[in-house]
Amino acid sequence: MSAPVFIGCSHGTDSREGRLAIGSILADVAAARPDLDVREAFVDVQQPEVADVVAEALAGRRPGGGVAMSDDGSPTDDVDRAVADGGEVGAVVVPLLLSTGFHVRVDIAASVEGRAARAATPLGPDPLLVEILADRLAEVRLTPEDVVVLAAAGSTDPDAARDVRQVAAGLSVALSRGIAVGYGAGADPRVAEAVAVARAGLHMGGRVVIAAYLLAPGYFYDRLLDAGADVVTRPLAPDPRLAEIALARYAEA
């Protein structure tokens, strides 16, 4: 059997620039692994939904195609039982998300449950993400007087906050300086609060710099631009290292 279908699943956005940024990750994956069938899926805002993409990917690997379903909507054919029986995996959903949370634990998990598919872990935390963040900060000519706030989208899932703190700790080591953390939603402190605290502690000539821990432009990035910082770094994508992380998650799954 050929390699499992690679399904890159992102949140979805109305932003044209955001869609292009996320699309660049999948384009880089396809360029790095031309042997893979690379497909795109979403958990919100955009179509197609991840569960539908998984079903279509598996149907394409069955003789004659088709998705056999039981009365409760669960797959019934032998291919869809393959994972539980230790057989072939037909598709791997790679969350193009930086942390765990509702979409990973619920939407993506449900899309592979009972099927010959698996869900990979999110892109973060990862040392390569720390490298990209450090590069973004270098682009804005970070100085010793500046104060850095790592800004993430946020989630009510405590594991998501743990993931962000791990990245902040890695960035702190990489830059040999303290890194504050702020969230757009779901966790505290919020970005504007973290920026205000950072500004109160500024030395003469320093700036408050937001390190945008976001994959792409869109709703949360726009909120960062209004959070009161002097500088906001650009999002993580496009960057070929994101595809490297995504392929590592695929291989692990």
Residues 14 and 103 in one domain: yes
Residues 120 and 135 in one domain: no
Rg of the chain over Cα atoms, rounded to whole angstroms, equals: 20
Residues 161 and 227 in one domain: yes
Residues 113 and 10 in one domain: yes
Edge-to-edge strand order for the sheet containing 147-152?
A: 179-183, 147-152, 208-213, 231-232
DSSP per position, the chain: -PPPEEEEEE---S-HHHHHHHHHHHHHHHHH-TTS-EEEEESSSSSSBHHHHHHHHHHTTSTT----B-TTS-B-STGGGTTTTT----EEEEE--SS-SHIIIIIIHHHHTTTTEEEPPPS-S-HHHHHHHHHHHHHTT--TT-EEEEEE---S-HHHHHHHHHHHHHHHHHHTS-EEEEESSSSSSBHHHHHHHHHHTPPTT--EEEEEE-SSSSHHHHHHHTSS-SEEPPPS-S-HHHHHHHHHHHHH-
Residues 112 and 170 in one domain: no
Would you state the pLDDT for residue 1? Answer: 63
> pLDDT digits over 50-94, tens only?
999 999 999 976 544 444 444 444 444 444 454 444 568 999 999
Residues 199 and 106 in one domain: no
Residues 243 and 119 in one domain: yes
Q: What percent of the chain has pLDDT over 70?
A: 89
- CATH code, domain with 35: 3.40.50.1400
Residues 113 and 60 in one domain: yes
> pLDDT digits over 116-150, tens only?
999 999 999 999 999 999 999 999 999 999 999 99
Would you state the pLDDT for residue 87? Answer: 62
Residues 170 and 70 in one domain: no
Domain range spanning residue 193?
127-232
Residues 78 and 50 in one domain: yes
Neighbours of 176 (CB within 10 A): 7
Would you state the pLDDT for residue 62? Answer: 57
Task: Give yes or no for residue 235 having a pLDDT over 60.
Answer: yes
Residues 53 and 33 in one domain: yes
The Cα–Cα gap between 59 and 187 comes to 40
Residues 147 and 40 in one domain: no
Q: What percent of the chain has pLDDT over 90?
A: 81
Query: How many independent structural domains does the chain possess?
Result: 2
Cβ pair 33, 247 in contact under 8 A: yes
- CATH code, domain with 196: 3.40.50
Would you state the pLDDT for residue 79? Answer: 47
> For residue 101, what pLDDT band results from cuts at 50, 70 and 90?
confident
Strand partners, 174: none
> For residue 204, what pLDDT band results from cuts at 50, 70 and 90?
confident
